Amino acid sequence: MSQRPALGPGAEFDAIRSMVARLGVSATGIGDDAAVITVPRGERIVASVDSHVDGIHFRRAWLTPREIGRRATVAALSDLAAMAALPLGVLTALEVPNEWQDDMTEIAAGIGDAVDESGTRVVGGNTGRGPVLAINTCVIGHAFTPLYRSGVRSGDVVYVTGRLGGPQDAVREWLRGREASPLSRDRFVRPRARVHEARWLAAAGASAAIDLSDGLVADLQHLAVASGIRLRVDLERIPCIDGVSSREAVASGEEYELIVTSSRPFDIETFRDRFGVELTAIGHASSGDADVELLDRGERVAPPPGHDHFSS
């Protein structure tokens, strides 16, 4: 990290210095104004930026500092997965209030966990003071042929990775002052960026993809609009985690699973064996106005309200 003395010299920032030291194992080329990354010849750069803010995307009581660092970084890496890009590097800009100083080493460890899992490195960053903890992550990847939201064609089958509903279920329980189930907690606290899965799916002929951050119906809507196509999804085929109904699951956001479409069926068994994750056909695309139809045993039903962090 090009750690800015904006933090000033002195003992109060030793925690951040130790964080930078901790990130060293997962960091390369730190210490200049910007990171320098070599791009494989002929590949294109894929880049995204994402913010994770205390009180908006998480609450301190719900996660350890290490989990907070990991989750913020996974959320950003998930945008690369959605494009079937391989990460080249991560840059993290931290806004750090005084009361979080002592946690920065653990937050850095969590950032390190996430980049290690996705086979990448922290290549740059910035630390400064802020009124609330914010972890702003820029991810840079490369892809020969990125997957776009606009690639869905009539007749494509719609797939989703994993089982849905955990994050929303955990947040709902916490907001009611209850314990979340271990399964739901794990899905909120330890999402995975489906980077390797996305490359496999792209190679297997995927036509379009999006990562599941706003809720299944909301993200399907993005796909439908970008592709100018109608998407029809069967509620009873939605893979839900235990204790969550399919209507709840389709509204759950920040899943960081992938929605992928393809004109050819994927080999679901091979996918599951390789990644330990389910891949489920949940619907299909047909010509018509850009829209999402949710079917409950063949009957069209209204979609549940979208995911809006903790506002509901």
The footprint of its own copies on residues 195-254 (CB under 8 A) is: 210-211, 213-214, 218, 226
CB atoms within 10 A of CB 255: 29
Decide the pairing of beta strands 299-301 and 44-53. unpaired
Which C-beta is closer to its own copies: that of 62 or that of 148?
A: 148
**How many residues contact its own copies, by CB under 8 A?**
73
From the list 4, 264, 267, 296, which residue makes contact with its own copies (rule: CB under 8 A)?
Answer: 4
- Does position 191 interact with its own copies (CB under 8 A)? The reply is no
* Min separation Cβ 270 and its own copies, Å: 25
Q: Binding segment for its own copies among 30-38, 108-116, 174-182, 292-300 (CB under 8 A)? A: 30-38
The reply to whether 5 sits near its own copies by the rule CB under 8 A is yes
Q: Are 105 and 19 in contact (CB under 8 A)?
A: yes
Residues 292-311 that bind its own copies (CB under 8 A): 306-309, 311
Strands 291-296 vs 299-301: parallel, antiparallel or unpaired:
antiparallel
**Positions 60 through 99 that interact with its own copies (CB under 8 A):** 79-80, 82-83, 85, 88-89, 91-95
Instruction: Report long-range pairs for 52-59 (Cβ below 8 Å, ≥24 apart).
Output: 52/134, 52/135, 52/136, 52/137, 53/132, 53/133, 53/134, 53/135, 54/132, 54/133, 54/134, 55/132, 56/309, 56/310, 57/254, 57/309, 59/174, 59/310
CB of 7 to its own copies, least distance (A): 8
Which one, 234 or 255, has the nearer CB to its own copies? Answer: 255
Interface with its own copies in residues 114-143 (CB under 8 A): 123-126, 128-132, 134, 136-141, 143
Q: What does the alpha-carbon distance between residue 53 and residue 95 come to, in Å, rounded to a whole number?
A: 9
Smallest distance from its own copies to CB 35, Å: 5
Give the count of alpha carbons within 13 A of 218, CB side only: 16
Q: Residue 130 Cβ, how far from its own copies at the closest point, in Å?
A: 5
Amino acid identity, position 177: G
